[in-house]
Every structure is written in structure tokens, then in C-alpha cells.
Structure 1
């Protein structure tokens, strides 16, 4: 039971990181005005913020290796 919960949590974080990557590369973002509840909006902001942090962390790890280079 605990293993399944950890698996679902890891999947949720990965989905959030993918959404952060989509936002960074395309500018598409979640339309929060469509949600009326402040609590749910706050939860979604927290969820997407976790994805942003995971995305930044992954990018910094990859940038510090010799296997990847930044092309502008």
C-alpha cells in the first residue's frame, strides 16, 4: 500500500515537471480563473510550483555534467 502511494506521488511530481517544461517552452499555462475555490487554486499553484522546482533542479544537474551543453 505504501509503495503504491509513493509510486503515485512520484508520477504526480513527474507530470507536474512535464507541465512546467511545457510552460517554459511554449508559454502555455493553466487558466486559474476557471476555478472558483481559493483552496483548490492554492493547491494547484503548489502542485505546479513543485513541478517548477523539480524541472529547475533537473536542468541544473544536467547543466553541471559534461554530457550536455547549452545551445542558444
Structure 2
């Protein structure tokens, strides 16, 4: 059971890092430069990982925008 908990914890941590990188990209324009990497598989999976973060970021923004507890300033 402890191994499953650690795997879930690491997975959630990876999702949070990906969402944080998406927020940095949206606010500053800075992103991970995967074009310099030689390994095509690493490029492919890193792009997928970053796209998951973009989706999470979009979902979080949409949820907050529709919430009565948040407002735009």
C-alpha cells in the first residue's frame, strides 16, 4: 500500500510542476527548450507532459473564473 501512495504522491507532484511551468509560460513567455535535445522520444514525451500542464492550467483558470468566490481585478 505504501508504494501506491508514493506513486500517487509523485504523480500529483509532477502534475503540479507541469501546471506551474504552464503558468510561467503564460505569464512570461518562457518555456523549456526541447528543440535542442537530440533524443526524439524525450522531446515527444516532454511536449506531452507540458501539454498536460497547459490543460490543467486552463481548467484551473476556467474553474476560478466561474466561481463566485473569485473575481477579476
TM-score bin, normalised by smaller chain: over 0.9
Q: How many residue pairs align between the two structures?
A: 71
TM-score (norm 2): 0.92
Partner of 1:51: 53
Q: Higher RCO, 1 or 2 (CA under 8 Å, sep at least 6)?
A: 1
State the 4+ residue runs in structure 1 displaced beyond 6 angstroms: none
Q: Which structure 1 residue ranges, 5 or more long, are not aligned?
A: none
- Unaligned residue ranges in structure 2 (runs of 5+): none
- Give the counterpart of 1:24 among 4, 23, 26: 26
Return the match for 2:42 from 34, 40, 43: 40
Q: What CA RMSD, in Å, does the superposition of the two structures yield over aligned residues?
A: 0.8
Q: So what's the TM-score if we normalise by structure 1?
A: 0.93
- Is 2:17 the counterpart of 1:15? yes
